[in-house]
Amino acid sequence: MYTLLSGFYRYLVQKDEYFIVILGLDNAGKTTYLEAAKTKFTKNYKGMNPSKITTTVGLNIGRIDTGGVRLNFWDLGGQEELQSLWDKYYAESHAVIYIVDSSDRDRIPVSKETFDKVISSEHLQGVPLLVLANKQDIPDCMGVRDVKPIFNQNAHLIGRRDCMVMPVSALTGEGVNEGINWLVDCIKRNNDIRPPRNQDNNGLS
Q: Is 190 annotated as a binding residue?
A: no
Q: Is 148 annotated as a binding residue?
A: no
Q: Is 175 annotated as a binding residue?
A: no
In sequence order, the β-bridge partners of residue 20 are 73, 95
Q: Is 77 annotated as a binding residue?
A: no
Catalytic residue among 79, 83, 125, 199: 79
69: exposed, middle or buried (C-beta count within 10 Å: 0-12, 13-18, 19+)?
middle
Q: Is 135 annotated as a binding residue?
A: yes
> Considering only CA atoms, which of 111, 98, 168 is closest in space to residue 137?
168
Q: Is 56 annotated as a binding residue?
A: yes
Q: Is 24 annotated as a binding residue?
A: yes
CB of 175 closer than 8 Å to CB of 136: yes
Instruction: Tell me if residue 199 is catalytic.
Output: no
Give the whole-angstrom CA distance, residue 86 versus residue 123. 11
Q: Is 179 annotated as a binding residue?
A: no
DSSP assignment, residue 29?
Answer: S
C-beta contacts of 57-63 below 8 A and 24+ residues apart: 57/82, 58/82, 60/31, 60/34, 62/34, 62/35, 62/37, 62/38, 63/38
Residue 75: helix, strand or coil by DSSP?
A: strand
Q: Is 126 annotated as a binding residue?
A: no
Q: Is 37 annotated as a binding residue?
A: no
> Considering only CA atoms, which of 145, 120, 124 is closest in space to residue 133?
145
Q: Which residues are catalytic?
A: 79
What are the binding residues for GTP? 24-31, 78, 134-137
What are the binding residues for Mg(2+)? 31, 56
